[in-house]
Structure formats: structure tokens, C-alpha cells
Structure 1
């Protein structure tokens, strides 16, 4: 029998520890998880220089009118919410379904999904990294036939744990490749719902530059292709955290430009839709993601490139 290598053994141990922690946290009420986040969030802000730097850099770019004190305060709140999301993964993936459902305090805009299905149209749900998107996945897959793309985690031994958590209410996960795109098309043609991450930078060749808070960001172009072939409706969906209480699901009308057959116009509509969701509570957006990384790579000759070289 082949013995595990040192690296494999360490990864397995790390995966086991993370899975165990999620299981323990799944037993705790979200009120307690928020209190823990309120303690850990400031620690993350103080000690994690990378997360703090990227968060504040993004906030400077999108909210230039903020004072330094206001920006620092918003960055602290953002990292507190990001900490809460990490602690709540076990809740979304492993807690008793009734417990998760009970913590969803309200659902706004459900008619946007119901009306599309009444018209025999599929629904594309743009789900940005806002609030707790895993709770949104839980609700969607509990109430609609739901398909979403899935990329295995870097710690491969966590794959079955995460996959089971996301699929346990009936969601269908498909790979991030042409086979997965074909599965999304089939789901939409069956008048079902699919989920898309609108705020992750795609690989080169799979996107265009479009404004996001007035500054170009490399944005995926899969959406207009799906709309053109299926006439699907597009909505933005988020699970807004109500600190210490639970979550509210919000479905918002997407910006009309998402239906354009012009890739740049459609991508502009996608980013505007994400901006509208963020306006619900800017602190709940994951600002530590390097949303402008590729445009910085394209602007290396600008005079201020030295300020961005580590971004």
C-alpha cells in the first residue's frame, strides 16, 4: 500500500481540521458567530496586511470622496463581514436545513424569478461576493432547479465537503469549461435558474474591460452569449447579513444593458448591477479581492504604476 507523502499528509490534516471546524461552527447560532466576527475582524484588519492593503486600495478607487478615517472605518467593517462569512460556511453547508431556513428572515423580489418561469424563461442570477453568497445558494437550490459552475478548491481534500454542502439542497454543480457552459444552456432552456459570479476576473480572452465604479475592470463575456441563445431574464441576487440576527435575500432587476449583444455594453450592465447590490451595504462586499488586477497589468507604463506594482 502506498504511503502518503509528507505534503499529502499535511494537506489531508489541514483539510480534516478545516472540515471539523466547519462542523463545530455549524452547531452555533449565527448570533454567536457574528459576535466572534466582531472580535476577530479587527485582528484580521490589524495583522493581515495584504487583506487590509487591497481593501483600502479598492475603497480609495471606488469611493475617492471618503476621508482617511471613513475609509479605514469602512475597511474594518468589510473585513469583519468577510470574517463572518468564513465562520458561517459551516452554517450554510452543514447545519440542519430548517435552521438555515429559519435564519433567512425575509425574501425580497422573488416575483422576478417566478415571473420569468411563468413566461417559460430561464433566470440568470448574478451573485456577487456580497453578504453570504453560500446562504443565497442554499435558498436558491431549496426553491428552484438551480445550476452553478464550480471549481474545486486548492486543498483538493476539501472538494467532497464543499461539493456536498453546495449540492445538498438540490443544486447541480458543473465544471468551469465548455461542458459546464453547455449544461448552463440546457438548464436555461428548461426554464430553470443558474448562478453566475459577476465579479471574478476571467482568464485572458474570456472578457472585456468595462467600467466598475468608474474605473475599468476586466469582466467576463459569457452572459450575453447565454442570453442571446436562451432569452433568459437576468437578476442580481444577494444574501444581505442582518448582523446578529440572520439574513435577508434580495433579488434586484439587472441593469438593462446586460441584454445588449455588444460585449462591452453587456459587461458594463453587469458591473452596474453589482454596484446596485453593493449599495445595499458597501461594508458587506468582499473588497479584498483584486478586482482591478488585469487593468493594472495593462497600464504598466502609466506614471503611477509604481504605486500598483504589488497589486
Structure 2
């Protein structure tokens, strides 16, 4: 069966890569128009994305009017569609075009000050706006290392890896060898990137509040801080629809520096919340952020209120 599926996967990868190549030359106004057409279709016909997005929004914004939450869900899926359509730009367009699309940079001094002190800087990069544009800018301006896990469609791996590394980023695996590489980069006073809003595997995280509800959160950050005295900032590339991107670098919540893993994870989630507040529609709400709470409480009917998926 695996051999039979091989040609199909190859064709899928080739078609996706060809689409990215075709879109790489399009204007941002065109890409945004396509997203505004695609997003509502995803909301209407993709039950999984619609339901998870609407459930998450009901959890984090319980006081928001239901009609307003539905509008926010549609807007969020439109921004997610825009991110997918912009991957060709971030990975394949002429670097000068991508640089020109970054029309604002706020808080760069946070990065410069830390590096001037001879410390490494950890950039928390949540799934907000277009994080691939953020990667492009960071790896263009600083020695930059980030963890990388190959996509499920393995034949896209060389395309994605080439796109992410083209400005000098160093990609390391999501295993102990990768963690060692992150530590070395920080000790060289370089920048590294961490995705703070992906659920880690069991044993690699703790439950910490995210918008007031427990979410399983990675504990890699306090380990890196304790061994390197690095400083932490949150970084996002906020989309300015049809115009470009505004980069925002924000001071991380001070709790991220706590040696207590739960306290540090609470600070990480608070930092993500602060970034989301810039424009909640640009966050990727279709990710099951509270999934492990459901797994943990399965078989415990007294906790039925936590069963959100």
C-alpha cells in the first residue's frame, strides 16, 4: 500500500510546490483577494477547521457575542488561508521583494540590546500572522537557529527546508541533538526561535493556564534560560492585508525566567496571549491547543466541562 501511494504523494508534493512557485510572483493585494475568497470556503466546507476554531474561540472569549465569534472564526480562517498562499513569497520570491513587504519593525531594540550584552536571545514565535516572514527577517539580520520537524508529506521536505534556510537560518531536529544545538547557539550570543504554542509530547511539558484554561505547555524554555542566561522576547509578523507585514518584538512575561517549570510555562502562555491581543483574527485558532486536557481527563465524567473537543 505504501508503494502504491508513493506516486500519489509525489504528485501532491509537486502540485503544492508548483502552486507556491506560481504564487511567489503575485502581488500581496492579489494574495489577500485570494484569501478572502478561500477563507469563507474553508469555513463553510471544512468541518474540522470550522468546529475547532469556533470551539477554541468560545473557550477564550466566552463573553463575546456568538455572532461576533462566528465572524472572528471566519476572519481567522481567512488569515490562515492567507498564510498558506504567502508561503511562496516567504520561501521562493526574490529576497528584496520579501524585505520590501516588511514595512514596519517594532521593538528591534530588544534584540539588539540583548546581543550587545553578550547574551543569546530566545524568540517565542507563536502561530500568528505569517511566521515564515518572521523567520525570513530574523535569519536575514541575525545568526538564527530553529527546530524543524519534517512535514507529513515528506516529499515537500526539501522545498520547505530550502525556503527556511535560504537566508542563513540553521534548522536542527526536534530531539536532544537539536536542543544541544540551541544551547550552543545561545552560548555564542545568537538568536534562536521556539514555537511556544505547540503541544509537546507527554513528559516534555506541564499544564499551565492559557486564556484561563489548562493547556499542556513545553518546558524547554526554562532549561535553556537556566543554562545560558538568555533573554526572551516574543516575535510575530502581523499581516497588513494587501500591504505587507509589521514585525512586533515584545518583552516576554517576566515569569518565563522562573526556575519553576509551571511558573515559566505560565509566563510563556501569557506572552503568547499578549501577541494575540495585537489582532486575535490572525492567530491560528484551528489548532487543538487544549487536546491533552481532554486526553488526561478521559474516563472522568466529573470533569465533563473540560471536554471541549
Bucket of the pairwise TM-score, normalised by the shorter protein: over 0.9
The question of whether the paired residues in 2 share the 8 Å contact of 1:121 and 1:192 is answered with: yes
Asked if 1:308 corresponds to 2:307, the answer is: yes
Q: Which residue of structure 2 aligns with residue 200 of structure 1?
A: 198
Q: Which residue of structure 2 aligns with residue 52 of structure 1?
A: 50
Unmatched 5+ residue regions in structure 2?
A: none
Deviation string, structure 1 residues 5-26 (Cα, Å, up to 9, x no partner): 3211111111011000000000
Q: Which residue of structure 2 aligns with residue 102 of structure 1?
A: 100
Matches within 5 A, 1:101-180: 101-180=99-178
Q: Matches of 2:260 and 2:167 in 1, distance apart?
A: 36
**DSSP 3-state at the match of 1:226:** helix
For residues 306 and 109 of structure 1, do their structure 2 counterparts lie closer, same or farther at Cα, with a shift above 3 Å needed?
closer
Deviation at 1:307, TM superposition (A): 8.4
Q: Which residue of structure 2 aligns with residue 230 of structure 1?
A: 228
Deviation at 1:306, TM superposition (A): 8.7
Aligned length in residues: 307
Matches within 5 A, 1:1-311: 5-300=3-298, 301-303=300-302, 305=304, 308=307, 311=309
- Poorly superposed stretches of 4+, deviation over 4 Å: none
**DSSP 3-state at the match of 2:301:** coil
The question of whether the paired residues in 2 share the 8 Å contact of 1:296 and 1:305 is answered with: no
Deviation at 1:294, TM superposition (A): 0.2
Q: Matches of 2:71 and 2:282 in 1, distance apart?
A: 13
The question of whether the paired residues in 2 share the 8 Å contact of 1:147 and 1:173 is answered with: yes
Q: Matches of 2:29 and 2:301 in 1, distance apart?
A: 47
Please give the root-mean-square deviation of Cα atoms over the aligned residues, in Å.
1.2
The question of whether the paired residues in 1 share the 8 Å contact of 2:294 and 2:306 is answered with: no
TM-score under structure 2 normalisation?
Answer: 0.97
**DSSP 3-state at the match of 2:152:** coil
Unmatched 5+ residue regions in structure 1?
A: none
Deviation string, structure 1 residues 160-203 (Cα, Å, up to 9, x no partner): 00000000000000000000000000000000000000000000
**DSSP 3-state at the match of 2:198:** coil
Deviation at 1:239, TM superposition (A): 0.1
The question of whether the paired residues in 1 share the 8 Å contact of 2:293 and 2:306 is answered with: no
Q: Matches of 2:277 and 2:301 in 1, distance apart?
A: 31
